[in-house]
Structure formats: structure tokens, C-alpha cells
Amino acid sequence: MSEIKYKPHIKLAHDLWSKFLKKDFICIDATIGNGFDTLFLLELSTKYNLKKIIGFDIQKQAIDNTKNLLKKNFNLEDLKKINLFLSSHEDFSKHLKEKINLFIYNLGYLPKSDKSITTKSKTTIQSIKSAFLHLSQNGAISITVYPGHSEGKIEEIEILKFLEEIDYKIYNIMQYKWLNKKNSPFVIWIEKLST
């Protein structure tokens, strides 16, 4: 009998992406932060031969941190698959011309930075609505939520309220949450169904 083991929220999200991705998929990291999720996607690209990875952040520090991290770990040929934009995730429609297979959101604030600059429920929900419009058939959205700080708690309430109203005939929406750890981070996984 196999044993089910605890996985931290980031590891859980990464496992979901790993099982979902396929050759020639296009991914968006909507909130790149320090670039670790973008780095993980590029690592997966060597396995799955992803077509493109697009990243967004409103802070130049996040863009610079991500570029430096990727340059340390990959050669110039690998980096051709990456496009980074100094732009809010709510504005990514301006930069997209094709359907996206996977959107990822790692909400909250940039670690080791100004905690007052954080994702907000209003812009996050607007971004998710836009992601729905750009999502490919059988595409997915991964959202990691951090309710342990005040803005994160508001995001949790508002995002869940919004997603509970989404038509289950079009999207499967699951929440992976530790019930006995108050205000712990959790992952929302959304899959668009074939129509």
C-alpha cells in the first residue's frame, strides 16, 4: 500500500503543473516574484519542450531578480522561450495573441521586499477573468493563496466567493487546503472542460 505524504503548498502546486504540462504548451507566470516558479517552469520545459513561458510583475526588482536567477541556471538558447513583462497581471491581455495552456498565480507580496506592495483581490479577480478568456480547451489555472496576512485574507474570501459562482459545466475548480492549520497557504486548481 502506498503512503500519502504531506507536501508544502509550493511542492503541491509544482506537482500539479508537472502532471499537467505537455509538449508545446504555453504557460504564464502571472506573478513572477523572485522567479522561482518561472525557473521551475523552465526546468520542466527541458522535459516537456514547452513552447513559451511568459511572466508578469509590477516591480522592476522582481523582473531583475528573475532574469538573474534564470541566467545563472540556463543558457541563452533556453532563455529564448522566456518573455518577461513589467506589467500587472490584470493587463496581460495587451500582450497575448494566442491561447494559454497554464496560468499560474503565486499571490501575496515579493519575499524580502516591501510587504505593502501586494496582490489585491480586485485586480487578481480581474486577471482571473481575463485568464478564463485566454485559456485553451483543457487548459488550467493554478492559484496559490496566502491568507496569513491581512490583504491575503481579503483575497482568500473574495477569490473563493467569485470562483464558487463559476459554472461547473465549464470548469472544474478544486481547493487544496490544510484544515487544521489556520490561515495556511493553499492551492486552487482550475481546469477548463472540453466543450
Per residue in 114-147, pLDDT (tens digit) is 666 777 889 999 999 999 999 999 999 999 999 9
Model confidence at 89, pLDDT cuts 50, 70, 90, reads confident
* Closest among 104, 118, 113 to 50, alpha carbons compared: 104
Q: pLDDT value at position 7?
A: 74
Q: What is the pTM of this model?
A: 0.92
pLDDT at res. 156: 92
pLDDT of residue 151: 87
pLDDT at position 41 over 80 = yes
Q: What is the mean pLDDT of residues 70-96?
A: 90
Instruction: Please tell me the predicted confidence (pLDDT) of residue 35.
Output: 92
Angle between helix axes 9-20 and 36-48 (nearest 10 degrees) is 30
Could you say which DSSP state residue 117 is in?
A: S
Residue 60 pLDDT greater than 60, yes or no: yes
b/e per residue 90-106 (b: at least 16 CB within 10 A): bebeeeeeeebbbbbbb
- How do residues 153-173 score in pLDDT, each as one tens digit? 999 999 999 999 999 999 999
Work out the mean pLDDT of the chain and round it to a whole number: 90
- Across the range 176-190, mean pLDDT stands at 91
Would you place residue 4 in the very low, low, confident or very high pLDDT band (cuts 50, 70, 90)?
low
Spatial neighbors of 141 by CB under 8 A, at least 6 apart, are 102, 103, 104, 105, 128, 131, 132, 135, 188, 189, 190
C-alpha Rg value of the chain to the nearest Å: 16
Closest CA to 38 of 15, 77, 67, 9: 67
The SS3 call for residue 81 is coil
- What pLDDT score was predicted for residue 1? 47
Domain ranges of the chain: 25-117+129-173
- CATH code: domain 25-117+129-173 is 3.40.50.150
Residue pair 163/139 in contact by the 8 Å Cβ criterion: no
- Nearest to 92, CA basis, from 157, 141, 50: 141
Q: Quote the pLDDT of residue 180.
A: 87
